[in-house]
Amino acid sequence: MDLVDEISKKREFSCLPKSVIERVLSLVDVSLCEKDKIREARIILRKYFGVFLTNKVVKPKDVFNYNSVLLSHKSSQKRDYNIFYDMVRSNFGFDDNFKLNFIDLGSGVNGFSYPYLKNIFGNVFYRGVEASKFVVDNTNLFFKRSGYSENCACVWGDLFDENLVFGILRGVEKNRVVFLFQVIDALENLERDFSKDFFLRLKNDCELILVSLPLLSLCGKKRFEVRRKWILDFFRDNFVVLNSCEMFGELFIFLKCT
């Protein structure tokens, strides 16, 4: 039995790159029988992806109602994007003559906030990378029908695919701003310490990074103090930390690559 195919049979996981499912399978106890391996892998996938891939997110009623799509996703629903992108501008110290290119890794439905991004930064380049094919297709449909396709696209893929991620970054002109909102936990849970190497590599292929970490766990309780400490220390040692602030239940950290 091909376990990856078997796991992908569940509709909610059929939209994920095979490499994501393979990685999750590699975390499962090898001594389990095939049926239990499939069950365990699905539990892990549900934990890290399922919670963001609800029906409302993957099948929005109206893909052009960008506010309702943003409200449907656990990660974006608390953000006031006018305030948010204004805060991004002031923290990175941009003026109107500065042409920026945004690359949003693990973008979720964040591409639907492009009208707000455009309001603050003008007709900027936006490239999302996201594991859910459903979300990617919806985002691209929104870009196409709203006339944003010239500058905007969302790419389906796995952030562990270095050729894909760094290939995209190298193809983008300088003044690249990488967004990594609420994705570090997903990456770390699939491969411990992955993010350290990832950030060090990112340093060579972008100029600015904005990271966000959730202040609360998904169930709304536990704080991530310990995990946050190592990552904040790591940022201080390897980047210029321009600022950090708490907003919308997230800790945002503004990094300059030197």
Q: What does the binding site for ligand SAM look like in residue numbers (CB under 6 A)?
A: 20, 49, 52, 75-76, 106-108, 110, 130-132, 158-160, 181-183, 186
Residue with smaller CB distance to ligand SAM, 36 or 167: 167
Residue with smaller CB distance to ligand SAM, 37 or 158: 158
3-state secondary structure the chain: CCHHHHHHCCHHHHCCCHHHHHHHHHCCCCCCCHHHHHHHHHHHHHHHCHHHCCHHHHCCCCCCCHHHHHHHCCCCCCCCHHHHHHHHHHHHCCCCCCCCEEEEECCCCHHHHHHHHHHHHCCCEEEEEECCHHHHHHHHHHHHHCCCCCCEEEEECCCCCHHHHHHHHHCCCCCEEEEEECCHHHHHHHCCCHHHHHHHHHHHHCCEEEEEEECCCCCCCCCCHHHHHHHHHHHHHHCEEEEEEEECCEEEEEEECC
Residue nearest to ligand SAM (CB): 108
Closest distance of CB 31 from ligand SAM, Å = 26
Closest distance of CB 99 from ligand SAM, Å = 23
Closest distance of CB 133 from ligand SAM, Å = 10
**Angle in degrees, 0-180, between the axes of helices 162-170 and 194-205, rounded to the nearest 10:** 20
Closest distance of CB 51 from ligand SAM, Å = 8
Closest distance of CB 210 from ligand SAM, Å = 11
Residue with smaller CB distance to ligand SAM, 75 or 101: 75
Residue with smaller CB distance to ligand SAM, 88 or 131: 131
Closest distance of CB 179 from ligand SAM, Å = 7
Residue with smaller CB distance to ligand SAM, 36 or 197: 197
Residue with smaller CB distance to ligand SAM, 130 or 205: 130
